[in-house]
Each structure stands twice: as C-alpha cells, then as structure tokens.
Amino acid sequence: MLKQCKVHCGFINVATVGWLLISTIFLPGRPVNADPFHRQVINGELAAVRRAIARDEALATMNDELGRSPLHLAVINGHMALVNVLINAGADVNSIDRLKGYTPLHYAAFYSYPGIMLFLLSRRADFLIADRDGNLPLHLAAANGCQATVEALLLHKASPDCLNNNWQTPLHLAARASGNLKDFPAASDRDDDYLGVARQLLEAGAITGVHDIWRNLPGTIAWQRDPGSGFPGKFERLLKEFSRAR
C-alpha cells in the first residue's frame, strides 16, 4: 500500500509540475478570471467590466491567446463606452496584437468605426504604426471605402502617400473598390464610396504616379478589377482631374 501511495503521489506531482510549466510558458501572470473578463468585454457588459477592473486592475491590460488586449476586443466589437473605460484603467492605446500586428486604431479602420477612431486619436493613438503587411490605418480605411475614417486620419495629418510592404498607397487600395470585400468584411459595396475616398486622398495631395512592386499604378488596378463596369473610367477621370489641377 505504501508503495502504491508513493507512485500515486509521484504521478500527482508530475502532473502538477507539468501544469505549472504550461502556465508559466503560455499564461504568464494571467489571472484566473481573464477569459470571462474578455467575454464580458466582447459582449459589451459595461457594469461587469467596471466591477472586474475594480477588483483586479491588471485585467485591463491582459491579452488573450492571440495577443489581443481587452481594448482591441472592445474596438473590434464597437463598444465605445468600454474603450473609454479601458483606456482610463491603463490600457495601452497603441498595443499591438500577435494576429496581424494591429493596434486598436487598425481595428477601428478595419471595421469602419469613425467615432471610435476619433476617440482613439484624441487619446494619442499612433497612426504611423504599421501592421505585419506594412499597412497603416489609412490603408485599411481606404480599402474599406469609408470616407469618415479616411477623413479622421487625414485631419490628423496622416500621409496620403504612405506605403505598405507592397509599395501600395491608400490610393492603390481604394482603386480595388468592391473587390476588397474578400479581405475586408466591413468594406463598402458601393463604387461611389471608393471614388469619394480617392477624391479625399487626392485633395490631400496623394500622388497618382506611384508604382507598386508589380509596377501597377492606382489607375491600372482600377481597370484590372472590372473593366466592364463604370468604375475604372470614373476613377481614371478623377485622377486626370487632379493631374491637370497640379
């Protein structure tokens, strides 16, 4: 009996040590209630989030398994009030996730939340941080055809000629128009929205003659998307209008 007990106790110790190692490697400093807290943020449970932070302020900066902070999750789900609560509780407005290298500002652009974007910018969100593909928030805003988020970034002096890793400017991404829907779930399906974004970028001084790594100009991309639609012709006329104006 004594022998069996020793073996059994040894098994428990090995399992315990194994769990402690896993916890140390994958869940450093992670509170027991971090996952429920993330669900509360996702669901927009404002009162519950406030109570949880009052009990453990470390929750406000505790990342999930994808490296997304509670602030990322609040922005993704469009919870403006929670964005404010989390920032006031010490959340890093420029935290970068491990999924795409997005900041909260990237997600505000990706999901087309102009109100949240303006609030983040007012709290010193950095629009010059690039994601893993080199995209700045303005690239994502242009790709979505969202004039409100593009305007917010341009008003804060974002450059209309910023380049991503493919040497594409926001104008290149706007030229894809509704072809962006596959990669950008919040993208507009209206060509006029992309023409409006293109006009905003051009009025802000965007250069029309930038080649990407495939030697494509913005106008070339517009024609590649759907030559049979009216969008490429309208896009090209817009480019010519600003070329003549300069």
Q: Find out whether 185 and 194 touch, Cβ atoms under 8 Å.
A: no
Average confidence score pLDDT of the chain = 88
Q: What is the pLDDT of residue 24?
A: 33
User: Tell me: the pLDDT tens digits for 67-94?
Assistant: 999 999 999 999 999 999 999 999 999 9
> pLDDT at position 180, please?
83
Measured distance CA(170)–CA(161) in Å, rounded = 7
Half-sphere exposure of 13 (CA within 13 A, CB side): 6
What is the value of pTM for the model shown?
0.85
Q: What is the mean pLDDT of residues 27-56?
A: 84
Listed ranges 133-147, 177-191, 212-226; the one with the highest mean pLDDT: 133-147
Cα distance between residue 172 and residue 55, in whole Å: 48
**Contact at 8 Å (CB) between 194 and 177?**
yes
Confidence check: pLDDT of 2 > 70: no
Fold of 136-246: 1.25.40
Q: Report angle CA 40, 43, 47 to the nearest 5 degrees.
A: 55
pLDDT at 33 over 90: no
Delimit the domains of the chain by residue range.
136-246
